[in-house]
């Protein structure tokens, strides 16, 4: 007779078209058969989940839409997301009991994982034992450095961008990569042939979450002047005192975001890393420099809205020849090993600080997830499920 084990799970109850609520999920005691063994011939392996990641993009999977870049959750089944897990039993020759892995898993105590259900490079064995396991959910994996990489990649590919826009890059700076010396000459065709040299240093980002904190720190490491916005005074203090941002402000305390940005960027914004959308994007458009760039990576303020807020200031794209481009981390998975090593090095050298908000226990997972959308988390939100 097959041995049944209890398996506590966070079940997705059904599709929604509004901001997520705790009641959209349900803690259930399910069961797992086979005596915690991976079924022979399945090619799968059974894991014990140790920590789970809460990410804003998961809201999109609660909508009944096939139009998205990622399929929706299945009602009645556990929520699916990134996690760090320990292999208990394996029918996959690449994974052995005791291995620690990060990849796509379920919001439950035990999951059966198949390599073939994962994106390339998403499922990885954890080899570093001098970094907290949960860091593999943010600092060192999926959405963390890769999304941040989009900005720096955006800066790095600046040369290409500039050529299109008739703004030419200093080639020497280009070949040295992203450094303090990254300068460009903006040929001012309108007013003759004078050249204006400037450092593309003024970076603005919404900095409260998992991605923003890394974007800002990487930009600082590349010599930029970085200002972040956040939802509370506590977070602003964190950005300035621990994460090294040049400045930061509480957007909820600003009656006029346009005026706020003019105060922090009297000469305009060179790069806006937009992971918020909405009013902040509209205000940033008013404050961009000529030739500025907007990396669009999140629009978290719009995740819950079926009729998203209108953006009114797009005319600035023309008058300022702005380039605005959308990024998805899944397009950059092949670059992951490079950035994993880079960010790990920065972290070990103390050049990068990483802030987490850890909810203890699977039973607190729904509240932790819902909190993302009201900005309750300070730093990357994770759920601690069990110790190895």
Q: For residues 249 and 272, which CB has a smaller minimum distance to a second copy in the complex?
A: 272
Q: For residues 80 and 89, which CB has a smaller minimum distance to a second copy in the complex?
A: 80
Question: How far does the chain reach from its first CA to its final CA, in angstroms?
Answer: 29
Smallest gap from residue 249 Cβ to a second copy (A): 23
Residue 249 CA to residue 261 CA, distance in Å, equals 10
Residue 29 CA to residue 10 CA, distance in Å, equals 9
Q: For residues 233 and 312, which CB has a smaller minimum distance to a second copy in the complex?
A: 312
Residue 51 CA to residue 186 CA, distance in Å, equals 48
Q: For residues 75 and 308, which CB has a smaller minimum distance to a second copy in the complex?
A: 308
Residue 253 CA to residue 232 CA, distance in Å, equals 9
Q: For residues 89 and 282, which CB has a smaller minimum distance to a second copy in the complex?
A: 282
**DSSP one-letter string for 93-131:** TT--TT-EEEEEEESBSEEEE-GGGSPTTTSEE----SS
Q: For residues 29 and 190, which CB has a smaller minimum distance to a second copy in the complex?
A: 190
Smallest gap from residue 371 Cβ to a second copy (A): 22
Smallest gap from residue 100 Cβ to a second copy (A): 25
Indicate left, alpha or beta for 281 from its phi (over 0: left) and psi (-120 to 50: alpha): alpha
Q: How far is CA 258 from the centre of its chain?
A: 25
Smallest gap from residue 276 Cβ to a second copy (A): 12
Q: For residues 27 and 328, which CB has a smaller minimum distance to a second copy in the complex?
A: 328
Residues 6+ apart with CB under 8 A from 61: 68, 70, 71, 72, 73, 80
Helical spans, DSSP H, in 8-106:
none
Smallest gap from residue 350 Cβ to a second copy (A): 32
Smallest gap from residue 362 Cβ to a second copy (A): 29
Smallest gap from residue 322 Cβ to a second copy (A): 5
State the residues that interact with a second copy by CB under 8 A. Answer: 67-69, 119-120, 153-154, 157, 160-161, 163-166, 189-190, 192, 277, 281, 296-299, 302, 307-328, 330-334
Spatial contact of 314 and 293, defined as CB atoms under 8 Å apart: no
Residue 355 CA to residue 367 CA, distance in Å, equals 19
């Amino acid at each position: 007779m097959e041995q049944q084990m209890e398996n506590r799970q966070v079940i997705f109850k059904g599709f929604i078209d509004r901001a997520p609520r705790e009641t959209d999920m349900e803690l259930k005691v399910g069961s797992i058969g086979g005596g915690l063994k991976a079924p022979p011939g399945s090619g799968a392996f059974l894991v014990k989940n140790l920590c789970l990641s809460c990410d804003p993009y998961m809201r999109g999977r609660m909508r009944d839409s096939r139009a998205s870049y990622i399929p929706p959750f299945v009602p009645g089944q556990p929520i699916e997301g990134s996690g760090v897990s320990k292999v208990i039993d394996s029918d996959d020759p690449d994974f052995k009991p005791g291995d620690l892995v990060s990849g796509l898993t379920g919001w439950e105590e035990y999951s059966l994982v198949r390599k073939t259900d994962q994106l390339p490079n998403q499922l990885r064995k954890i080899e570093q034992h001098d970094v907290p396991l949960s860091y593999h959910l943010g600092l060192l994996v999926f959405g963390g450095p890769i999304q941040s990489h989009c900005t720096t990649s955006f800066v790095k590919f600046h040369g290409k961008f500039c050529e299109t826009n008739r703004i030419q890059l200093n080639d020497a700076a280009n070949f040295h990569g992203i450094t303090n010396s990254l300068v460009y000459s903006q040929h001012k065709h309108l007013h003759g042939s004078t050249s204006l040299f400037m450092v593309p240093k003024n970076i603005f980002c919404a900095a409260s979450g998992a991605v923003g904190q890394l974007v800002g720190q990487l930009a600082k490491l590349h010599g930029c002047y970085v200002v972040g916005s956040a939802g509370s005074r506590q977070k602003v203090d964190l950005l300035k005192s621990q994460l090294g941002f040049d400045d930061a402000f509480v957007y909820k305390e600003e009656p006029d975001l346009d005026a706020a940005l003019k105060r922090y960027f009297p000469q305009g914004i060179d790069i806006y890393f937009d992971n918020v959308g909405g009013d902040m994007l509209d205000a940033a458009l008013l404050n961009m420099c000529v030739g500025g760039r907007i990396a669009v990576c999140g629009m978290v303020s719009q995740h819950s809205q079926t009729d998203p807020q209108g953006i009114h200031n797009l005319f600035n794209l023309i008058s300022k020849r702005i380039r605005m481009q959308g990024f998805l981390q899944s397009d950059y998975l092949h670059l992951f090993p490079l950035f994993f090593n880079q960010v790990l090095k920065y972290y070990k050298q103390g050049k990068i600080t990483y802030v987490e908000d850890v909810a203890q226990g699977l039973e607190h997972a729904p509240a932790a997830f819902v909190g993302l959308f009201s900005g309750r988390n300070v730093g990357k939100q994770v759920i601690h499920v069990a110790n190895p």
